[in-house]
Structure 1
Amino acid sequence: MTGGYRETYDRWRTDPQGFWAEAAREIAWTKAPERIFDASAGVYGRWFPDARLNACFNALDRHVEAGRGGQVALYYDSPVTGTRRALTYRELLDETATLGAALLDLGVSAGDRVLIYMPMIPEAIVAMLACARIGAVHSVVFGGFAAKELATRIDDAEPKVVLTASCGVEPGRIVEYKPLLDLAFTLAKHKPATSVVYQRPQARADMKEPRDRDWTALVEAAKTAGRRAPCADLAATDPLYILYTSGTTGTPKGVVRDIGGYLVALKWSMSAIYDVKPGEAFWTGSDIGWVVG
């Protein structure tokens, strides 16, 4: 990017709408945008207000359809558990579509919020993609956050479902998530209908019926029934996710990212700023509870 910075900047400055219209061609749309930016809409304007697409399709399906299903999409390497996995695009799509079907079976639909309170494991990525696939708005909360902070985010986002794991594994200790989640449910005014718990071998969570559901059992039931969630056809201006600020200067603020603008800018950034090419690996050391994760 450094060598072409001035040219890129001048091109954007000369024709900003044309610049982002060109970037938008890299995204798969169900209805391509005819309008790029509406400055009069909302507080900050709206990107691609007449377009439609699905974020999960762009992340997974398009690559499988293009013949890259056998290529690795996600590497998981945990030094604290000694666990390594490599998921291909096809495998990740299968897990995502199945979990999406399980969420639909729980009554989650487009526009509903789903809170994700999980450690850095592949299932957390599957959870985000499954929400994007069915049009649910996910909100990732840093795994192991204290119950009071978690309750604050539950009250603000008002999720229908919470996806969690039994524990997180840190150097020298196991952090059990379920007791923290149970206390957060008690503290929160909003009461999510369901929590789905992924049981990890390092610690088993105590389940509270009928609210708590077993992740593996739900996924296996959907798989046995041959259920796979299709990609919802969504407006580019629909929300993709909510991510909260730390709250160190007051009440945490929920930052909402819409689908179209986020995907176009992210795709452009991966190439123009990070210089990532097809087949290369991209690593970030940040937790998925923060935007750079």
Structure 2
Amino acid sequence: MTATERTTEPTAQAEPTAQTEPRTEAERVAFWERQASRLDWAKPWHTAHAFERPQRIGTREDGAPDFTVPRIEWFAGGTLNAAHNCLDRHVEAGFGDKPALLFEGEPGDRRTLTYADLQEEVSRAANALVSLGVEAGDRVVIYLPVIPETVIVTLACARIGAVHSLVFGGFSADALQFRVEDTGAKVLVTSDGQFRRGRAVPVKDAADQAVSGDNDIEHVLVIRRTGDDIAWTDGRDAWWHEALAAASPDHEPQQFDAEHPLFIIYTSGTTGRPKGLVHTTGGYLTQTAYTHALLFDLVDGELDAANDPQKVADAVHWCTADLAWVTAHTYEIYGPLLNGVTQVIYEGTPQVPHAGRHFEIIERYGVTTYYTAPTLVRSHMGAFGSRPAAGERPADRWDLSSVRLVGTVGESVNPEAWSWLRREVGAGTAPVIDTWWQSETGSCVMSPRPHDACWDAETTPDAPKPGCATRALPGLSAAVVDADGSPAPTDEQGLLVVDGIGPSAARTVWNEPQRFLDSYWAHFGERGWFLSGDGARRDAEGDITVLGRVDDVINISGHRLSTIEIESALVSHPWVVEAGAAPTTDPLTGHAVLSFVVLSQEAPGVSGDDLRDTLRAHVSHRIGPIAKPAHIIAVPEVPKTRSGKIMRRLLTQLFEHTTLGDTTSLTNAHAVDDIARIVGHPAAEPPTACPADHLTA
């Protein structure tokens, strides 16, 4: 293996051949070339893949080795348009009347957009952006809830080559301001408000505050969602509906190089300042289209199989993620539209006006694939019970028979939540795809495959294992290694690396290439391995279980314990629906286990002593005495990012009364205030009237 890997002179229309799993680097590149033929290319690429690994060039002042920054390219020289691949080609193929988006707002308003409708709206929006001076390469920040306009403006950016950056509509003005300034955006798209927890929540004020400083914003495009009165800046602000009404419905999509930036997405900020990861067009769309088809059962099991037309026609896909999360970019915007399926998007919170709102939506639209976060699954468990009684199960109250596949994404799913999702939503027979991937990888890296083996765990020894991401998908490779890069011993925690990256991998950190190197490539980059930052273990069968962030490890007297394992043990008790475990300083053992728990409806009136003693004994039984929490504190919620990741460092900081780190990426910042009041942290704030929701993935 050389420092620079390059494959040239491919054809964009490579013929599929009978394939086993690609093993060598050449086979892997050839595999992704075949998957690239799922897309429409205006011009074939001249270089299938080029990867310049980091090379050591000296030593830094602090004594650490210094490396060159990696360069990654896929399908360079080939040109295409993302919006054309999502819309125009389906309309041209005669599917213009097929529903693309089935939208439901939290108040109950509904809207259906066909592929032809969406194509026209995206074309109008593209023309509107051009009229505001937006050109290819300019950045557009999108600060919106889950509404059709969010998808429309995202694809409009892609259509004209503008780089989009979506920001969760529940983020604070400070979080939005950082992203506006860091991207150097020319246009901000926002709304007057959004519906959340049964009420209209203002949004425009936060947008105004975010663009009040030193930035490059020239226009703020405002979507009327709630109809509430808002502040207005003449000359800068413009109404979305007026801009689109004045725009032509005809727009010829421009063609861009495969390496043209498509979007910037910011990491959750669980450690340090959020990083703006840059994803490019051709490689991202290739891996997104293939993995969406593979994972959500649009093919019949062959590695290179084309999508089954009947499966595509029957599919009603629902990814519950907020559109600003990378999961939504890949499996709610681009993936489903690239594959021409119908999908549901829902604006609001999952328990308004009742705890079964998601199941009501599944029944109404005949959802076939339901992809959500472990956090949301545990909220269902809290509302309906870990073992609902007869007549109280979701399937007893709503028709969930359309569901043929369920999946999880975000943090590692607890085995109890995995089993509940399959049993209560998937009727005990639906495959569960427990997917592992990151903002950095762009699309899925590891998951069970829905067409593999038998899914009857009671009769089949090799059935998928609850809470286990199993193995890498075709064309990809992952390994569990120690700090020196040697394979970690069986069943022992090691570092999870991607030793065979895919085309959808991030290319750099926006304006910070050195940070891209330091964060992901400095440790194993010379070998061509991407360091994920997650810990994992591989079992005797070769299957991988992800154990959470490497820094989410509690070291007790030399014993390294995964926070995920401790949390899973706590959640397996019927009193606990959610748990966050973190280390706290202990003078004798180094670390002690600190646990914050959200109690289920099955734990009314439990005293603090009973709670502590019962859960300590339960964890001791499930893991061992070394893992017993020293502190167990009941709280209303644990702080999480929008992807459902628990910010465990905040738990330690709150408990130890130290300075709190960055909280701008939290989706439920009010949880920090609630816990601060409970533990007496000086940062405690008065309760808020309407906290942002945290249950949507």
TM-score, normalised relative to structure 1: 0.92
Gap change, CA 1:12 and 1:260, over 3 Å in 2:
farther
1:137 aligns with 163
Is 1:147 aligned with 2:169? no
Is 1:270 aligned with 2:292? yes
Partner residue of 1:190 out of 192, 215, 227: 215
What is the CA–CA distance in structure 1 between the aligned matches of 2:168 and 2:22, rounded to whole Å?
Answer: 39
* CA deviation profile, 1:129-154 (whole Å, cap 9, x unmatched): 10000110000000031111111111
Gap change, CA 1:30 and 1:14, over 3 Å in 2:
closer
2:317 aligns with 282
1:113-262 superposed matches below 5 A: 113-186=139-212, 188-222=213-247, 226=248, 228-262=250-284
**Which segment drifts farther, 117-126 or 280-289?**
280-289
Paired AA for residue 74 in structure 1? L
What is the CA–CA distance in structure 2 between the aligned matches of 1:10 and 1:108, rounded to whole Å?
Answer: 42
Partner residue of 1:107 out of 122, 128, 133: 133
Is 1:47 aligned with 2:81? no
Contact kept in structure 2, 1:243 and 1:256, CA below 8 Å: yes
What is the CA–CA distance in structure 2 between the aligned matches of 1:34 and 1:184, rounded to whole Å?
Answer: 42
* CA deviation profile, 1:106-128 (whole Å, cap 9, x unmatched): 00010000000001100000010
Is 1:72 aligned with 2:106? no
Q: Give the unaligned 5+ runs of structure 1.
A: 1-6
What is the CA–CA distance in structure 2 between the aligned matches of 1:46 and 1:93, rounded to whole Å?
Answer: 29
**Which segment drifts farther, 10-19 or 276-285?**
10-19
Report the 3-state secondary structure (helix = DSSP H, G, I; strand = E; otherwise coil) of the residue aligned with 2:194: strand
Structure holding more helix per residue: 1
Larger-gyration structure (1/2): 2
What is the CA–CA distance in structure 2 between the aligned matches of 1:71 and 1:205, rounded to whole Å?
Answer: 36
Per-residue deviation at 1:184? 0.8
CA RMSD of aligned residues (A): 1.7
User: Relative contact order (C-alpha < 8 Å, sep 6+): which is higher?
Assistant: 1
Partner residue of 2:33 out of 21, 31, 41: 21
Contact kept in structure 1, 2:193 and 2:226, CA below 8 Å: no
Contact kept in structure 2, 1:245 and 1:254, CA below 8 Å: yes
* CA deviation profile, 1:81-116 (whole Å, cap 9, x unmatched): 101111100000000000100000000010000000
TM-score, normalised relative to structure 2: 0.39
Report the 3-state secondary structure (helix = DSSP H, G, I; strand = E; otherwise coil) of the residue aligned with 1:283: strand
Paired AA for residue 286 in structure 2? V
Per-residue deviation at 1:205? 2.4
What is the CA–CA distance in structure 1 between the aligned matches of 2:172 and 2:92, rounded to whole Å?
Answer: 42
Report the 3-state secondary structure (helix = DSSP H, G, I; strand = E; otherwise coil) of the residue aligned with 2:205: helix
What is the CA–CA distance in structure 2 between the aligned matches of 1:8 and 1:287, rounded to whole Å?
Answer: 36
Report the 3-state secondary structure (helix = DSSP H, G, I; strand = E; otherwise coil) of the residue aligned with 1:36: strand
Gap change, CA 1:103 and 1:12, over 3 Å in 2:
farther
What is the CA–CA distance in structure 2 between the aligned matches of 1:191 and 1:26, rounded to whole Å?
Answer: 38
What is the CA–CA distance in structure 2 between the aligned matches of 1:215 and 1:8, rounded to whole Å?
Answer: 50
What is the CA–CA distance in structure 1 between the aligned matches of 2:231 and 2:70, rounded to whole Å?
Answer: 45
Gap change, CA 1:12 and 1:218, over 3 Å in 2:
farther
1:91 aligns with 117
Paired AA for residue 265 in structure 1? Q
Contact kept in structure 2, 1:240 and 1:258, CA below 8 Å: yes
Q: Give the unaligned 5+ runs of structure 2.
A: 1-18, 54-68, 299-310, 329-697
**Which segment drifts farther, 59-68 or 142-151?**
142-151
Sequence identity (%): 39
Report the 3-state secondary structure (helix = DSSP H, G, I; strand = E; otherwise coil) of the residue aligned with 1:201: coil
Per-residue deviation at 1:8? 4.9
Contact kept in structure 2, 1:134 and 1:229, CA below 8 Å: no
